[in-house]
Chain A
Amino acid sequence: MVLALVLSVTACGGSSTDTTSADGSEAQTELGKLVVGFDAEYPPFGFIAEDGSYDGFDLAMAQEVCKRLGWEYEAVAIDWNSKDTELSSGNINCIWNGFTCTGREDEYTWSEPYVDNRIVAVVRADSGITSLDQLAGKTVMAQAASSAVDALNDNAKLKDSLGSVVELADYNMGFMELQQGTVDAVAADLGVATFQTMNKEGDYVILEEPISMEQYAVGFKKGDTELRDAVNDVLLEMAKDGTMMEIAQNYVDDGLVLESLCLIEK
């Protein structure tokens, strides 16, 4: 297990997000049930399947973790804006949905990062925009309370050059706005951007130059190390025995980028 940890940390560029806190005892939740908070409008990580159940790469992994631990699994489609309140009130006990840990290290107790994500800008092909510099004076959409908003805020040079940033509740609305021309670009996670632009080749362009680089991990309530450790161990095991890759294959058609899975040794 130690070896796996070391390997995975190396694979993910050496950033460890171990945030065990001193007041850990208070936040411990009872083991035996994983209540996953996720955004059902976030393919390929969380979305609604044709039979009305919730599906997605992250949910499939959460399900497998529960299966291996013999735990009860529940997925709750939350309003992404309320994720912190949902977690701190105990209505959910983890956030697992393309959840960025970079920059939020001190706010949650994290699993190992499992995806190397990039925040990218998507523009319409007919806009002629090919680089981030050309977004000067333009309107850019990002999902409210998302890491794309943080990425824009952190990139002061880019943000100051923009005309305005529109924050909406979900990315689908952003892409509808992009389509009708009311925003000039959408700043989104690579997976979401890939999903939204799939089968629409020629209409949209994902800019090569990323707005920021970041990682996804499973977020637990700050100090909930017992639950984190249990889930994390299984997660690493799944990366090692090939299960994670097997699950991932099912979501390639929904925009999942296999190369981004950083726990899997290449």
Chain B
Amino acid sequence: MTFQTMVGMLAQGFLTTLAIFFLTLVGSLLLGLLVSFGRMSHFTIVRTIIKVYISIMRGTPLMLQLMVVYFGPSLLLGITPPGNWRFAAVIVAFIINYAAYFGEIYRSGIEAIPAGQREAAQVLGYTRVQTFIKIILPQMIKRVLPPVTNEVITLVKDTSLASVIGTVEMFTRAKQIAVAPNSPGMMTFVVAAVFYYVFNYLVAFVMERIEKALDYYD
């Protein structure tokens, strides 16, 4: 197997990695918002449910969650999963896991806004929704960007966990290539590391640009 063939096959696997990454990112960044609202809800029941959810998501390994989401419906509940459930299960498990973390990050950002701003908005006649969208949210986004960047970079690397339920993303592909007949062996892992690093470098770069762009008061 030539070096080019190996890189090409890794690149193919990287497409799956990217699919997991982007779908999870979109899903969990949005779901995280709902989680943070639920966590701060005035209704004790909602708040408690979300607290338990966050506690479970943070308190158990993502690898285990992947297995429960993938095998649970058929083996625990007796439901026959649809044909493409393997990949869907990966996305579902990643989204509900990351949403828990994003929810807490958002909460920290929202609660960091002084209560005086809320009161001032109320005096000026803003509704609660208006206050949130026009006053709280823009400031919250600025504040949570550094911890969100942390999570996003972790997500890129966590995609390799999908292999536990037989999803062939780049790391699994690298392991397969490394053992194939006439393969470049260990070099495969070095190239895989370069793929991850370069992509994470880009993620960090983009996030830094966003931070700068939002830094309009300084």
Query: Which residues of chain A have a CB within 8 Å of any CB of chain B?
Result: 40-44, 47-50, 52, 76-79, 82, 85-86, 88-91, 170-172, 176, 195, 253-254
Contacts and interface: CB of A to CB of B under 8 A. Distances in A.
Best-surrounded residue of B80, B81, B168, B176 (most CB of chain A within 10 A):
B176
Contact of B179 (A78, A89, A171): A171
B195 interface: no
B67 interface: yes
- Which of B67, B75, B181 lies at the interface centre, i.e. has the most chain A CB atoms within 10 A of its CB? B181
Contacts of B166: 76-79, 82, 86, 91
A170 B71 contact: no
Contacts of A195: 181
B160 interface: no
B1 A170 contact: no
Interface of B: 1, 5, 8-9, 12, 67, 71, 74-75, 80-81, 85-86, 163-166, 168, 172-173, 175-181, 186
Contacts of A90: 74, 80
B90 to A, nearest CB: 13
A89 B163 CA distance: 17
A167 to B, nearest CB: 16
Given A52-B12, A85-B75, A90-B74, A79 B179 contact: no
Given A76-B166, A79-B165, A85-B75, A170 B175 contact: yes
Query: What is the interface of chain B mostly: helix, strand, loop, or mixed?
Result: helix
The 8 closest A-B pairs by CB, nearest first: A172-B179, A89-B74, A48-B176, A78-B166, A40-B176, A41-B179, A47-B180, A48-B180
Contacts of A49: 180
Contacts of B181: 43-44, 47, 195, 253-254
A228 B85 CA distance: 25
Given A50-B1, A50-B5, A79-B164, 5 more contacts: A77-B176, A82-B71, A91-B74, A176-B186, A253-B181
Contacts of A172: 175, 178-179
A82 B80 contact: no
Contacts of B173: 48
Contacts of B179: 41-43, 47, 170-172
Nearest to B75: A89
A47 to B, nearest CB: 5
A91 B86 contact: yes
